Amino acid sequence: MAEKKYVFDFEEGDASKKDLLGGKGANLAEMTRLGFPVPPGFTVTTEACKDYLRTGGFPEGLWDEIVEAVRRLEQKTNKKLGDAENPLLVSVRSGAPLSMPGMMDTVLNLGLNNETVKGLIKNTGDERFAYDSYRRFIQMFSDIVLKVERNIFEKEITKKKEEKGVKLDTELTAEDWKELVERFKEIVREETGEEFPTDPWDQLRKAVEAVFNSWNNPRAQVYRRINKISDDLGTAVNVQAMVFGNMGNDSATGVCFTRNPSTGEKELFGEYLVNAQGEDVVAGIRTPQPIQKMKEEIPEAFEQLLKLMDTLEKHYRDMQDIEFTVEKGKLYMLQTRSGKRTAKAAVRIAVEMVHEGLINKEEAVMRVKPEQLDQLLHPQIDPNAKVEVLTKGLPASPGAATGKVVFDADLAEELGKKGEKVILVRWETTPDDIHGIVEAQGILTSHGGMTSHAAVVARGMGKPCVVGAEEVKINEEAKLFKVGDVVVREGDIITIDGSTGNVMLGEVPVVQPELTGELEELLKWADEIRKIGVRTNADTPEDARRAREFGAEGIGLCRTEHMFFGENRLPIVRQMILAEDEESRKEALDKLLPMQRGDFEGIFREMNGLPVTIRLLDPPLHEFLPSYTELSVKLVEKKLGGASKEEVEEIENLARRVKAMSEMNPMLGLRGCRLGLVFPGVYEMQVKAIIEAAINVKKQGYEPVVEITIPLVALAEELRILKERLNKVAKEVIEREGIDISYKFGTMIELPRAALTADEIAEHADFFSFGTNDLTQTTFGFSRDDAEGKFLPRYLEEKILKENPFEVLDKKGVGKLLEIASELGRSTNPELKLGICGEHGGEPSSIEFAYKVGLDYVSCSPFRVPIARLAAAQATLKNA
């Protein structure tokens, strides 16, 4: 095996060698290759780092290579490391293949000691500059390499300023810095028990080692875990001849972007400081100037910079984030990389670059992170606002909302209708609160999880919602809530952020979403690319319209139960559930039929020509009933309060029937298709309503595309029987009306057994809709409501789980069931259509998984449709 080459001069690399040279090194090499004014230097490879970490010492030959590289650098700069006359000074910087804040960053001015500083004075004629550079070097080196706390030095500077009665660092003299240099060295001796290294070679070796070791420092490890960066990459080390932006008023240092990273506008954007080194910008002692001002101050360098920026952007075909230094009027490029940007900017830049011919549509689509779009689709807390967070709950429905605290739904409705903005604050919400939720700006609950009533309803309405904010202790009687010692009374203003779960006192500035023309254009390209459909989960005509505007190609899940929660319907629904004979049940169903039909008509009209998948009633019936505990308490109150015998008996009767309906584990009880089998009337009414609605809108000239899905199937036989029964109902309606409606029957795959026996089930289904919310619950044995309140946060904190499986599809477990079900299902029914309609349908990594498994579509909430369209296109491109 040829010996490894551990060190590359900038001239030897290029942008493609990121893995070996790190991002920074590769880009420096690229710029060098392009003939840009880059101070010369070399990169120690990630391979060297990995070998070092494996063996715990410099691998054979490495130091020799570094020495040789320094020799070459000396030739190029005509300076010499450690030379008292004409010393070479270098910067040492880490540079991993992926950007990694939290690692060791930069040591500047390496090579200085009591001898070489004299050479620097001689060369620059500026003693103060030289000692300032020297003390900076000691500070940085001590901090980063020797692990001496930075603020010990800062204190010493402060002390010196006090002694001298001055306020700014710039007011200290050369002599002051010189004294401080000696003091700093003493500090190092005190803190480490050793002398500060004076040999530049020794300094260099130690700095390189420190960079290597920083790969495994705890902050870096945590960062990698969170960002899913492999531990095996290692970091490179860049050693580069120093240039100085602090050599007078014809010197400067700055950063600039080739476009505006906030808005995406194609304009010069950046800032700089005259007579400064990079860290001064960071330190914030002096306020940097807008880059435009450089035109006046250092015109030549400015013009050159403009040209280079343009070249760089065209070369990299992306917006660049550039660091530069001007030393005595001469421009040096120190770094370039693709710049971070807001969602808005990302979209605009990507689209405009296509128009400019810089990139193609596929590249544009890959340039925007789907999750980022969320920012654009809801009102957001102004990112520039100073926000103080009172407490935090679960981010149940995104967006920000501000309003008066109100503790009951009636008052919320009353105030809301008057035009006042209110936030409804409840222990948990129930169907009885709907009228208040409708009128509130947002919802805050102290209990419940991501699928609690409040969360589901709020997401359906696109209304900001924070749930499970457990620190919020509500005292309804006293009309207040407490968070620790803070008391918030009814009428006080609060702001909730449903995107983060934050709860804040008072009003916090909010920015409104913009659906720009660029976004629409980008998504149109995404649509051309993607091979997996995007539908929406929508239960109302309003949701359907919004989703269609956002580009949904159909409804993948229309939940009929939410229609049952309507204020005027709940009493009828209760009558149906509690019916003690078939007659009174039928009576209630007859009353519900025209209402349901109306719901469906509205939705069919909005989705004209697009498929609408309607799920028959799914939740346990007692969700529609009052609480047994509350009834029991009421009963005792009435009894002891001397209420009439009739009144007591009525409550007793109700309580008895509610208790009979109650279940230990309602999620696994009498719900879904089990309802359809035990109380056939409900599903029959629903199918009647669906087909009648389809016929009615067809008469009006619309084109309804009907898909009916049967939930919670565990056994092929359940589906077979229900399909047979409901087909009969549908055919009767069609025959009676004499208008033909074609419709499909499918099933939810949301129980492990359904997935494992999908071959049998597929024989009775036109389509499968993967209900990954429930499938995640049963596969993990996690009740989402309980898990998110009781142990999931801890699991995530302790990294027992890397991600919340209710947000990001668990590929190993739930995903395996999806694969099994898809394969088995298609083995017996090759025409089977497959879709996913859990919340995962709007999550990019889950969408990619769905695409890879070969599903036909994903379905998500209206506000996530644009995200899904983009993610679906990216999935196609990534797996091309």
Residues that bind a copy of itself (CB under 8 A): 628-629, 632-633, 635-637, 640-641, 663-670, 674, 677-678, 712, 714-715, 717-718, 721, 750-753, 756-757, 760, 774, 777-783, 785-787, 790-791, 794-795, 798-801, 810, 812-814, 816-817
The whole-angstrom separation of Cα 689 and Cα 666 is 27
Residues 465, 558, 673, 837: which is the catalytic one? 837
Whether the CA torsion 737, 743, 749, 750 is positive or negative: it is: negative
Structure tokens at 252: 């400067």
We find the least distance from the C-beta atom of residue 589 to a copy of itself, in angstroms, to be: 20
Query: How far apart are CB 351 and a copy of itself at their closest, in Å?
Result: 42
In this complex, which beta carbon is closest to a copy of itself, that of residue 329 or of residue 666?
666
3-state secondary structure of 81: strand
Q: How far is the CB of 619 from a copy of itself (least distance, A)?
A: 12
Nearer to a copy of itself, 538 or 818 (CB): 818
Q: Are the CB atoms for 872 and 532 separated by under 8 Å?
A: yes
Q: Tell how far CA 726 is from the center of its chain.
A: 42
| Cα dist from 709 to 65, 464, 622, 690, whole Å | 68, 29, 22, 12
Report the Cα–Cα distance between both ends of the chain, in Å, rounded: 35
For the chain, how many residues are written?
A: 880
* DSSP summary character for residue 58: P
Closest to 234 in 3D by CA, of 218, 216, 208: 216
Whichever of 201 and 780 has its CB closer to a copy of itself, that residue is 780
**Which residue, 63 or 795, has its beta carbon nearer to a copy of itself?**
795
Nearest residue (CB) to a copy of itself, 531 versus 791: 791
Residue 622 appears among annotated catalytic residues: no
Sign of the alpha-carbon torsion through 606, 609, 611, 613: positive
Closest by CA position to 746, among listed 556, 593, 533: 556
Please give the structure tokens belonging to residue 214: 């920083």
Minimal distance, residue 596 CB to a copy of itself, in Å? 24
Cβ(283)–Cβ(266) below 8 Å: no
Is 540 within 8 Å of 603 (Cβ atoms)? yes
Question: DSSP class of residue 340?
Answer: P
Q: Give the residue with the Cβ less far from a copy of itself, 389 or 660.
A: 660
CB of 3 or CB of 797, closer to a copy of itself: 797
Q: Supply the minimum distance, in Å, between the C-beta of residue 694 and a copy of itself.
A: 29
- Least separation in angstroms between CB 773 and a copy of itself: 12
Q: Do the Cβ atoms of 204 and 238 come closer than 8 Å? A: no
Joined together, the tokens standing for residue 862 give 């209206």
Per-position b or e across 771-784, b if 16+ CB within 10 A of its CB: bbbbbbbbbbebbb
Look at residues 178, 143, 158 and name the one whose alpha carbon lies nearest to residue 285.
Answer: 158
> Are 839 and 557 a contacting pair, CB within 8 Å?
no
Closer CB to a copy of itself, 531 or 816, in the complex: 816
Comparing CB distances to a copy of itself, the nearer of 331 and 661 is 661
Q: Which is nearer to a copy of itself, 47 or 623 (CB)?
A: 623
Pairwise CA distance, residues 841 & 860, whole Å: 5
Give me 637's structure tokens: 């109150």
What is the 3-state secondary structure of 579-635?
A: CCCHHHHHHHHHHHHHHHHHHHHHHHHHCCCCEEEEECCCCCHHHHCCCHHHHHHHH
* Catalytically annotated residue among 49, 378, 447, 453: 453
Nearer to a copy of itself, 345 or 712 (CB): 712
Kindly list the distances between the CA atom of residue 749 and the CA atoms of 435, 754, 772, 819, in Å, as whole numbers in the listed order: 33, 6, 8, 12
Q: Quote the least distance from Cβ 783 to a copy of itself, whole Å.
A: 4
Rounded-to-integer distance, Cα 465 and Cα 460, Å: 11
Which residue lies nearer to a copy of itself by CB, 264 or 789?
A: 789
Q: Give the type of residue at 5.
A: K
For residues 510 and 385, what is the distance between their CA atoms, to the nearest angstrom?
9
Q: Please state, in angstroms and as integers, the Cα–Cα distance from residue 375 to each residue in 55, 259, 342, 400, 848, following that order.
A: 46, 20, 9, 11, 21
Shortest Å, Cβ 714 to a copy of itself:
5
Q: Of the candidates 566, 670, 571, which has an alpha carbon nearest to the alpha carbon of residue 618? A: 670
Shortest reach from residue 663's CB to a copy of itself, in Å: 4
Round to whole Å and give the CA distance between 25 and 303. Answer: 26
Nearest approach, Cβ of residue 745 and a copy of itself (Å): 17
Report, in Å, the least distance between residue 779 CB and a copy of itself.
5
Is 837 catalytic? The answer is yes
Comparing CB distances to a copy of itself, the nearer of 7 and 751 is 751
CA atoms of 707 and 325, how far apart (whole Å): 64
3-state secondary structure of 322: strand
Position 401: which residue type?
A
Q: How distant, in Å, are the alpha carbons of 679, 693, 702 from that of 699?
A: 32, 10, 7
Please report how close the Cβ of residue 445 comes to a copy of itself at its closest, in angstroms: 14
Contact 454/443 with Cβ under 8 angstroms? yes
State in angstroms the smallest separation of the CB of 215 from a copy of itself. 24
Residues 6+ apart with CB under 8 A from 412: 406, 422, 424, 436, 437, 439, 440
Q: Phi and psi of 159, rounded to 5°?
A: -60, -45
> 3-class SS at 754?
helix
* Residues labelled as active-site residues: 453, 837
